[in-house]
A and B are shown apart, each in its own frame.
Chain A
Amino acid sequence: MSKLASFFGQKVKVINLGIPSFAEDLRQQGVEAIHTEWRPPAGGNKKIQALLARVEVWQGQVKAAKGAR
């Protein structure tokens, strides 16, 4: 069975980023959900965000290369 089909039937646990009521609704239904007080990265500074994005791409490439070894 595929990985996705095996996921069906498992208990859903949620990380919520953004609208807080989505996490509140889930908790009211007894679903484990953690709400994140998310805010734009790098204090909203677009130049630093662009640099961060480049670092993240680089980190992803390093991770993929390690995985391939």
Chain B
Amino acid sequence: MVVCHLIKKQTYFDSVTLMLIGSQVKKLEGIENAVVGMCTDYNIDSLKRLNMYHQDFVGLTPNDLIICIMGKDKATADAGIAEVENRLKSRKPAGGTSAELPPSTQEEAARRLPEANVVLISVPGEYAAREANQALQNGRHVMLFSDNVSIDEELQLKTLGVSKELLVMGPDCGTAIINGVPLAFANAVRAGDIGLVAASGTGLQEVTSTIHRLGCGVSQAIGVGGRDLSEKIGGRMTIMATRALAEDPATKVIVLISKPPAEGVLKPLFAEFKNIDKKIVVYFIGADPKIIEDQGFVAARNLEDAAIKACDLSRKTSHKPEIADEAIASLAAKQKMTGKNLRGLYSGGTLCDEAQRLLQPVIGEIFSNTPVKGCKEMADVYKSSGHCIIDLGDDNFTRGKAHPMIDPDYRSERMIQESADASVGLICFDLVLGYGSHPDMAGEMVSAIKLGQQKSGNRPILAACICGTEDDPQGYQQQKAKLEEAGVVVFPTNVAMVKFAQHCLERK
């Protein structure tokens, strides 16, 4: 194997673009490994770990790009570098005159679009708070997609945001729909009178998509970041956003989705809700619904139930799950498990969490890389054993790689790996559609399924749930049809898929 590299000084690209290009080039014939990244400490460590480090990298800065390819010979590695360069060229925006060149700082962008009212930040975490602070100081709402922002920085930003009545959505906030506009990873949903506040990205996507498919609509969907209801942050954004929804004439029903709040936050949160003259549906993931009902609010049992209850209150009529329990049972009755084990390959963290919570009391021992109460930690996250429900969007799998909602590579690999295990009788996975997500995840999954079946000859039952709507760029029905054609049993929600899994496992 030969390692070749190219350094491009003062050439900056965002990490997602570079990770996707690296991943695509790695698939080319004769290429063993490809690292395409800015010269950050993390990338230097990766290069060392992969035996691809070179002395030429000494003294470079995070503004310098490194293209490093390991190939079967020099010609192949050089061809890999050329391929990366070609792909990068196609990513650069065309700019003829200097007037057409994009701005390079937030200040410059604000001069060109002074009426901008939202700043969407997905720069590396160490720089994100600085940019968010600048946006707030200048009176703009912030959506902070970046992770690796410290809780102290979050507290400072949210304190400033509250003082200026500006939203700080995040950090690590993947989803929001503000004034009808989906930001980052969000689904195309109909406008309506249900306003949501959520400390869970895929949780918010699942509930807003279900609301849309049930025929209702969304006024606002405000992501607040997973730590907002912690003791330290004190629910600052949740409380501010809920107050604003209470005043908003377009919002009739309010939905809150979060992990159970810290002890010290629960009381002031409920006190706040009691002042609101609108119906409130609360889903505290994994908590006893009684603590919500005792306070006089509507408690949801799961994400699907949160959507149904919100729609019931919005329309004052009863809504039912898109697929009835009897129909799920009948679909399961037609299946035969060839192996005894379940494997769940999730891209959505909250969906993975929900599957574990629903299945653990029924099927017993479950392993996960993100185990909930009652489930067990996987000994090796790269090798499954027994029933495993895996969050492939967790840090273990995304260091130096794009999230599985964007980059299907590792999940495809894992699909083939799980298919080759004769003990596996059922593979469940999610497909999260919407803006920001891969344009054809169903197509990618079907290719992996077919390859897995060809290689191993095994035929586990395959089930998928699609989080999305017909109006999403990928098209719900089109993605569903692709999966069904490959023999996958498709469900509209994670809860429905999990019920199907339960029936299959009970019948084995």
A residues near B, CB below 8 A? Answer: 1-5, 7-23, 25-26, 29, 31-32, 34-41, 43-45, 53, 56, 60, 63
Asked whether, in the complex, the Cβ of A18 is within 8 Å of the Cβ of B121, the reply is yes
Q: Which residue of A lies closest to B124 (CB)?
A: A40
Q: Which residue of B lies closest to A12 (CB)?
A: B181
B residues near A, CB below 8 A? Answer: 10, 12, 14, 16-17, 39, 61-64, 91, 93, 101-106, 108-110, 112-113, 115-124, 127, 130-131, 133-135, 137, 140-141, 145-146, 165-167, 178-184, 219-220, 240-241, 243-245, 247-248, 250-251, 435-436, 473
Asked whether, in the complex, the Cβ of A22 is within 8 Å of the Cβ of B241, the reply is no
Asked whether, in the complex, the Cβ of A19 is within 8 Å of the Cβ of B102, the reply is no
Asked whether, in the complex, the Cβ of B106 is within 8 Å of the Cβ of A43, the reply is no
Determine the chain B residues whose CB is within 8 A of the CB of A31 once the complex forms: 181
Asked whether, in the complex, the Cβ of A40 is within 8 Å of the Cβ of B179, the reply is no
Given A8-B248, A14-B183, A39-B12, A22 and B436 contact (CB-CB distance below 8 Å): yes
Asked whether, in the complex, the Cβ of B116 is within 8 Å of the Cβ of A18, the reply is no
Asked whether, in the complex, the Cβ of A15 is within 8 Å of the Cβ of B135, the reply is yes
The 8 closest A-B pairs by CB, nearest first: A18-B122, A44-B61, A39-B12, A44-B62, A5-B247, A4-B244, A3-B165, A44-B63
Which single member of A8, A15, A37, A56 contacts B244 (CB below 8 Å)?
Answer: A8
Asked whether, in the complex, the Cβ of B117 is within 8 Å of the Cβ of A12, the reply is yes
Which single member of A4, A5, A14, A21 contacts B119 (CB below 8 Å)?
Answer: A14
Asked whether, in the complex, the Cβ of A40 is within 8 Å of the Cβ of B250, the reply is no
Asked whether, in the complex, the Cβ of B17 is within 8 Å of the Cβ of A20, the reply is yes
Which single member of A11, A26, A29, A38 contacts B123 (CB below 8 Å)?
Answer: A38
Asked whether, in the complex, the Cβ of A60 is within 8 Å of the Cβ of B63, the reply is no
Determine the chain B residues whose CB is within 8 A of the CB of A25 once the complex forms: 182, 435-436, 473
Q: Which residue of B lies closest to A45 (CB)?
A: B61
Given A12-B118, A15-B110, A36-B108, A2 and B63 contact (CB-CB distance below 8 Å): no
Which single member of A7, A23, A29, A53 contacts B117 (CB below 8 Å)?
Answer: A7
Q: Which residue of B lies closest to A9 (CB)?
A: B179
Given A16-B120, A29-B181, A56-B130, A8 and B220 contact (CB-CB distance below 8 Å): yes
Asked whether, in the complex, the Cβ of A11 is within 8 Å of the Cβ of B146, the reply is no
Asked whether, in the complex, the Cβ of B116 is within 8 Å of the Cβ of A17, the reply is no
Q: Which residue of A lies closest to B120 (CB)?
A: A16
Nearest CB on A from B470, distance (A): 16
**CA–CA, A12 and B63, complex, Å:** 31
**CA–CA, A41 and B116, complex, Å:** 22
Given A4-B165, A36-B106, A22 and B183 contact (CB-CB distance below 8 Å): yes
